[in-house]
Structure 1
Amino acid sequence: MTVWVLGDQLNLEAAPLQHDDHVLMIEAHGFGERMAYHPQKLALVFAAMRHFRDELRARGFDVTYLTAETFAEGLDQFYDAAPGTDLVTMNQPSHGAGERLRELVESRGGSLTLVENDLFLTTPAEFDAWAGDSDTYRQEHWYRHVRRKTGILMDGDEPAGGEWNYDDQNRETPPDDWTPPEAPRFTPDETTQEVIEFVRERYLDAWGSVDDFVWPVTRDDARQALDHFVETRLTEFGPYQDAMVDGEWALSHSLLSAAINLGLLTPHEVVDAVEDAYWDGDAPLNSVEGFVRQVVGWREFMRHVYRRSMPELAEANQLDQTESLPAAYWTGETDMRCLSEAVGHVYDHGYAHHIERLMVLSNFALVYGVDPQEVNRWFHIGFVDAYHWVTTPNVVGMGSFATDVLSSKPYASSGNYVNKMSDYCSSCPYAVSKTTGENACPFNALYWDFLKENEELLRGTGRMGLMYSHVDRKDDEEWDAIRSRAAEIRRMGEEGTL
């Protein structure tokens, strides 16, 4: 039996590696041309795979490492040299991926055993037992269930500190004189630099810059990144986790999601490290709970909702949105300070934090009316931590409200939210206080137009009553001005003059 280690399973403690020291790895290059994937994403995956190969060999594993255009071609090479070999791999979280790999192997005369993916905190069986036959899911209920079951941040039968949720302490904006801690940087070694040059030369259509590559690509680097977060960034992570600051792409965020999704870190160890900091008195509870919620709550929850809701989730569009992404999502050229900053962060780093993702990038696409699948593709292309199982529930389900499978209301807002949580509006040529008129914030007219356009579905939806009471106060003249401004914004978005 040979263990097929895939590019998102780079963990020495993975179950299959405990039973066999023969390993197959295939670095397939062709997928990087199916979409204009961010070059840092491509470099991260290939560099991490090569370093893991070297680590395995240093530990005595017999590693067959193949480069090919596709998995199919790589398997042809492998089975030409080792006909009939039986393979085992952990099942991938992306829909149908495991079965597609099994078909490729069996068509070449081998067999592929798919085993439980142990790079998550919870199993499909555990979620299915909790969810039963339901086809709608709420994260808060799942989050509390997992904490009770695992004992994470629990004081006996009660949540640590007496509350499950400390969001009310985690919505602050930093003072003007605050400077975030410097983000960790991992200088590319020779192996990584070779990969970066390969990506730069091979993927000429890739969207984004590979010049400032600082991501951890080894287990040791990932552990250093975790230690840096706990020791340097965790304390201020909580209160400022929803904030956006001009010129700052990382703030106090952990920047660990890419390493976790590759397997370089496990959710167990990052949660343990953060929880230990609380119990040892080294980090405040609101910061620790906020981070634990992201991993124990959202990451696990999204994986299972995706699994149970596919393939319908990928095609969902309950609002019948059909617009194309504004040109600014590709160029970053827009007078909208918030959108320019968020797109710029993705272009330069392959990363933007969760509020930029949800309340700027997704929110603007939502009120603009963009096709959810087009938004999903953009996120899948642009982020170093993006996989289909990650982006689809977050973007299609949560950000685009294309289905109510995991949210009872859309995460739509006017420019007021951005103004509250950032310092962008003060330096933006658009006036956040205006809904209509030449320099009115584009968010505002689009937001009210969105509510009016989708009134039949949204009125009466959970927590939307207050917004529709404001809708009811607007007269025909105001609605005409709003619709005119919204149409103008969409024309500007299409023309690249936003």
Structure 2
Amino acid sequence: MTVWVLGDQLNPETTPLQHEDHVLMIEAHNFGERLPYHPQKLVLVFSAMRHFRDELRERGYEVTYIQAETFAAGLDRFYDAVPGADLVVMDPPSHGAGERFRHLVESRGGSLTLVENDLFLTTPAEFDAWAGDTESYRQEHWYRHVRRETGILMDGDDPAGGEWNYDDQNRETPPGDWTPPSAPRFLPDDVTEEVVEFVQERYPDAWGSADEFVWPVTRDEARRALDHFVENRLADFGPYQDAMVGGEWALCHSLLSAAINLGLLTPHEVVTAVETAYRDGKAPLNSVEGFVRQVVGWREFMRHVYRRSMPELAEANQLDQTASLPAAYWTGETEMRCLSEAVGHVYDHGYAHHIERLMVLSNFALVYGVDPQALNRWFHLGFVDAYHWVTTPNVVGMGSFATDVLSSKPYASSGNYVNRMSDYCASCPYAVSKTTGENACPFNALYWDFLKRHEAVLRGTGRMGLMYSHVDRKDDDEWEKIEARAAELRQMGRDGTL
């Protein structure tokens, strides 16, 4: 039997590779034309695959590596050489992918066995047993369940430190004289340089810059990136994880999500590394717990919610929002300092950290009225760590509130949140203190207009009562000005003059 290794399963310790020494890898190129994917995303996937091919060969595996336009064309070539071959592959997390691959293989006279994907901490069976028949999920309950079951950050039956969650210690903004440690850089070798040239020639319409490619593309580099985070960034990660600072794209974030989603690192090993740092007195509990929650809580949770909520999740739009993305999401050209910084980070690096994703990029699109699927496509094409199973629950569920399957209220805010968590507003031409008028912060009028437009859906949610008490205090004259300003901002968004 031959192990089919997909491009997001690049780990030599996976179960199928412990039992078979024949490997198939197909580097399919056509998918890169479906959307104008960020060139660094394409370089990362193709370079990591080629490096993994070489690593497996060094370990003694017999690797058939096929470059083709599609998986179907790659399988044609494979079965021309090995008629009737039996394949085994770890079940990919994206909806329906496993069965589509099975059909492709069986239609060519082979067989495909789908086995458990062990690049996650938890299994579908475990989540299904926990969730039962519910169709509405809450991450905090799942997070506590996983920690109890695994013993991660537990002291006996109790959470380490006595609390499950240290969010209240993780909302600081750094002092003005603070400088984050430099982000790790992994300069391209000959293999990666060859891929960069290929991507630039093959995908001329890709959105983003390939100039600063510094992502880890091998397991060794990924482990060094993990060590760098634990030793240099973890201690300050917690308190500043929600902060935004002008000119800083990485701050103290781990920058490990792309490596984890490729399989270069496993969630178990990164969680073990940060917990060990806490147990050894090298990192504070609030930082360690905040990171563990991202991996043990959110990443696992999103995978399972996506699995159980598809395909409906991919088309969800409970607020009936239909606007196109503002031009600034493509150009980065806007007077809004927060939006310009966040889009610029994505364009330059294929990355922005979680608060930029949720409270700037998604929040602005939400109050502006963007179609959730349009926003999802933008995240999917723009981020080096993005896959359909990752972006869809995060962007459609959390960021767009297109469904209440995993969130009880929208993550919408005025400019006050950005002002509290960043240094952007002090140097922005827009006034965060103003809701209407020529230079009023765009977030403000759009936020109140959003609440008014979607009152029928949102007023009844339990956590929106305070906001609607403010809505009720505004008179007709104020609403007329808000609605006029919101309409003006949407036109500016279409014209690219925000």
Q: 1:460 Cα deviation (Å)? A: 2.3
SS in structure 2 at match of 1:409 = coil
With normalisation by structure 1, the TM-score equals 1.00
Correspondences of 1:89-238 after superposition (within 5 Å): 89-238=89-238
How many residues were matched structurally? 498
CA distance in 2, matches of 1:390, 1:233: 24
1:365 corresponding residue in structure 2: 365
2:9 corresponding residue in structure 1: 9
Mapped pair 1:62 → 2:62: yes
1:316 corresponding residue in structure 2: 316
1:355 corresponding residue in structure 2: 355
1:433 corresponding residue in structure 2: 433
- The amino acid across from 1:232 in the alignment is N
Correspondences of 1:452-471 after superposition (within 5 Å): 452-471=452-471
- 1:162-189 CA deviation, whole Å, 9 max, x = no partner? 0000000000000000000000000100
CA distance in 1, matches of 2:460, 2:288: 35
Mapped pair 1:338 → 2:338: yes
- 1:328-379 CA deviation, whole Å, 9 max, x = no partner? 0000000000000000000000000000000000000000000000000000
SS in structure 2 at match of 1:416 = helix
CA distance in 2, matches of 1:34, 1:101: 19
- 1:308-346 CA deviation, whole Å, 9 max, x = no partner? 000000000000000000000000000000000000000
CA distance in 2, matches of 1:312, 1:473: 37
CA distance in 1, matches of 2:40, 2:197: 11
SS in structure 2 at match of 1:113 = strand
CA distance in 1, matches of 2:93, 2:72: 20
Mapped pair 1:392 → 2:406: no
CA distance in 1, matches of 2:231, 2:345: 25
Q: 1:145 Cα deviation (Å)? A: 0.4
1:31 corresponding residue in structure 2: 31
CA distance in 2, matches of 1:89, 1:332: 40
- The amino acid across from 2:265 in the alignment is L
CA distance in 2, matches of 1:154, 1:20: 37
SS in structure 1 at match of 2:92 = coil
SS in structure 2 at match of 1:238 = helix
- 1:385-413 CA deviation, whole Å, 9 max, x = no partner? 00000000000000000000000000000
Q: 1:462 Cα deviation (Å)? A: 2.4
CA distance in 2, matches of 1:144, 1:252: 25
CA distance in 2, matches of 1:350, 1:462: 36
1:419 corresponding residue in structure 2: 419
CA distance in 1, matches of 2:393, 2:488: 31
CA distance in 1, matches of 2:263, 2:477: 56
SS in structure 2 at match of 1:176 = coil
Percent identity reads 86
CA distance in 1, matches of 2:405, 2:202: 40
Deviating above 2 A after TM superposition, structure 1's stretches of 4 or more consecutive aligned residues are none
- 1:70-115 CA deviation, whole Å, 9 max, x = no partner? 0000001000110000000000000000000000001100010000
CA distance in 2, matches of 1:139, 1:34: 32
CA distance in 1, matches of 2:456, 2:72: 48
RMSD of the alignment, in Å? 0.3
Q: 1:202 Cα deviation (Å)? A: 0.9
- The amino acid across from 2:204 in the alignment is L
Correspondences of 1:235-384 after superposition (within 5 Å): 235-384=235-384
SS in structure 2 at match of 1:66 = strand
CA distance in 1, matches of 2:320, 2:417: 25
SS in structure 2 at match of 1:87 = strand
SS in structure 2 at match of 1:3 = strand
Q: 1:463 Cα deviation (Å)? A: 1.2
CA distance in 1, matches of 2:138, 2:264: 29
CA distance in 2, matches of 1:65, 1:152: 38
CA distance in 2, matches of 1:371, 1:462: 25
CA distance in 2, matches of 1:463, 1:81: 61
SS in structure 1 at match of 2:288 = helix
With normalisation by structure 2, the TM-score equals 1.00
- The amino acid across from 1:349 in the alignment is H
5+ long unaligned stretches in structure 2: none
5+ long unaligned stretches in structure 1: none
- The amino acid across from 1:117 in the alignment is N
- The amino acid across from 2:441 in the alignment is C
CA distance in 2, matches of 1:406, 1:38: 28
- The amino acid across from 1:31 in the alignment is F
